[in-house]
């Protein structure tokens, strides 16, 4: 255990930035707080809950995969050494979830893991939920990490952070000159912070009852079709979701051949499942909305014994028509009639 004075954090991040690209929560000119490369905004010391998670670093919106043409294929694997400061515990759970997804059935995504192995995650635990749409506890999470792999976890102790290493990389970071030794008083403070966080109240306790209804097939097609009438298909819910990784692949012509990229896609878009023949197995927006939430709240639970939703609440923050996870879970819990799908 070590401690890091908050007045030293800026210098600590600048120091780290000499050996790796550092991302941290920063305010942009228009006041948004985003996880950006150090210097692209203003670091104010706030961590909060940025509208986008560390997914934007590990699985960027657009990523180059390979160059091909004139008889050659060159694979592009981008793996710049990177440190992400200010990862929230729910987002670290999402990264662990994505790690498993990206190597399921022994099919390893080399582009994802090239980045993943190059990224060091410094988590800042939540003393209390950073926003009223947080519901991590209802999905099996906590305001601080106990058993999810990470590199460093910081606990806010007022004028300083209490720092715990979670990996060898984390131990090396805590060994640099910015961290000071912790004492018995800090140990007691940490125990008190964890105790308070463990009892912090949080919204949306209806996750379990909603998943039970979905598992029992008590939510029918008409439920999804009715809700989906107001979906404007913007894709915001999937883009901000730390566990959503739908993508599409595009080839762009250039002077030396073609560049193959992958870009974020969304299961809420009709084109996502449309086949080359024109056939689309998910013909309606209701079917697509059902797919998104059944995937997270039913099939992931069946396959991995945990939901694909970590309760960050971002989809509820951004959906312009009130179709985020909180509202969907609430609506499922209000379903009275049952009919098998
Ligand atoms: S479904 Fe919504 S609340 Fe759940 S992890 Fe994704 S963005 Fe967060
Ligand atoms: S954010 Fe809301 S409106 Fe946009 S695609 Fe998702 S559910 Fe539909």
3 state DSSP class of 153: strand
Give the residue, by CA position, lying nearest to ligand 1 atom 6.
241
| pLDDT at residue 204, rounded to an integer | 65
Pocket, ligand 1, Cβ cutoff 6 A: 240-243, 296, 309-315, 324-325
Pocket, ligand 2, Cβ cutoff 6 A: 231-237, 268, 318-321, 323
Series of mean pLDDT values for 10-residue runs along the chain (341 residues): 97 96 96 94 94 96 93 88 98 98 93 96 96 94 96 98 98 96 97 94 85 95 96 97 96 90 96 91 95 96 95 97 96 74 47
Residue spans per domain, the chain = 2-198, 207-246+266-333
- Ligand 1 center to 156 CA (angstroms): 25
- Say if CB 48 and CB 130 are below 8 A apart: yes
| pLDDT at residue 70, rounded to an integer | 85
- Ligand 2 center to 227 CA (angstroms): 11
CA angle centred on 77, ends 75 and 81, rounded to 5°: 160
- Please report the sign of the dihedral spanned by the C-alpha atoms of residue 142, residue 136, residue 265, residue 221: positive
Number of residues that make up the chain? 341
| pLDDT at residue 337, rounded to an integer | 54
Find all residues with CB under 8 Å of 21, minimum gap 6, and list them. 37, 38, 80, 81, 82, 83
Structure tokens at 65: 């995969």
CA atoms within 13 A on the CB side of 188: 3
Structure tokens at 139: 């999905």
Between CA 22 and CA 13 the distance in angstroms is 7
| pLDDT at residue 341, rounded to an integer | 47
- Ligand 1 center to 173 CA (angstroms): 30
- Ligand 1 center to 14 CA (angstroms): 32
How much of the chain is in helix, strand and coil states, percent to nearest 5? 35, 20, 45
Question: In whole angstroms, how large is the CA radius of gyration of the chain?
Answer: 21
């Amino acid at each position: 255990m070590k401690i890091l004075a908050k007045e030293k954090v800026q210098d600590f991040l600048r120091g780290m930035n000499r050996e790796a690209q550092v991302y941290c929560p920063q305010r942009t000119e228009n006041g948004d707080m985003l996880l950006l490369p150090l210097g692209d905004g203003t670091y104010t010391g706030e961590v909060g809950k940025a509208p986008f998670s560390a997914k934007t670093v590990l699985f960027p919106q657009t990523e180059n995969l390979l160059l091909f043409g004139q008889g050659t294929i060159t694979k592009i694997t981008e793996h710049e050494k990177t440190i992400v400061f200010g990862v929230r515990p729910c987002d670290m759970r999402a990264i662990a979830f994505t790690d498993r997804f990206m190597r399921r059935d022994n099919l390893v995504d080399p582009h994802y893991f090239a980045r993943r192995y190059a990224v060091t995650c410094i988590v800042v635990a939540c003393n209390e939920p950073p926003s009223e749409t947080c519901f991590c506890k209802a999905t099996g999470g906590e305001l601080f990490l106990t058993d999810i792999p990470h590199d460093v976890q910081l606990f806010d102790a007022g004028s300083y952070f209490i720092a715990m290493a979670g990996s060898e990389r984390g131990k090396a970071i805590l060994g640099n000159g910015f961290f000071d030794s912790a004492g018995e008083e800090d140990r007691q403070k940490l125990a008190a912070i964890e105790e308070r966080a463990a009892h912090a109240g949080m919204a949306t306790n209806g996750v379990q009852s909603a998943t039970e209804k979905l598992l029992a097939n008590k939510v029918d097609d008409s439920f999804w079709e009715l809700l989906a009438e107001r979906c404007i298909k913007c894709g915001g819910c999937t883009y901000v979701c730390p566990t959503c990784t739908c993508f599409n692949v595009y080839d762009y012509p250039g002077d030396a051949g073609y560049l193959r990229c992958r870009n974020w896609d969304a299961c809420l878009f009709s084109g996502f499942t449309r086949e080359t023949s024109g056939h689309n197995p998910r013909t309606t927006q209701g079917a697509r909305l059902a797919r998104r939430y059944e995937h997270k709240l039913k099939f992931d639970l069946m396959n991995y014994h945990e939901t694909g939703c970590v309760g960050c609440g971002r989809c509820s923050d951004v959906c312009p028509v009130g179709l985020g996870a909180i509202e969907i879970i609430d609506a499922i819990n209000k379903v009275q009639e049952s009919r098998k799908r």
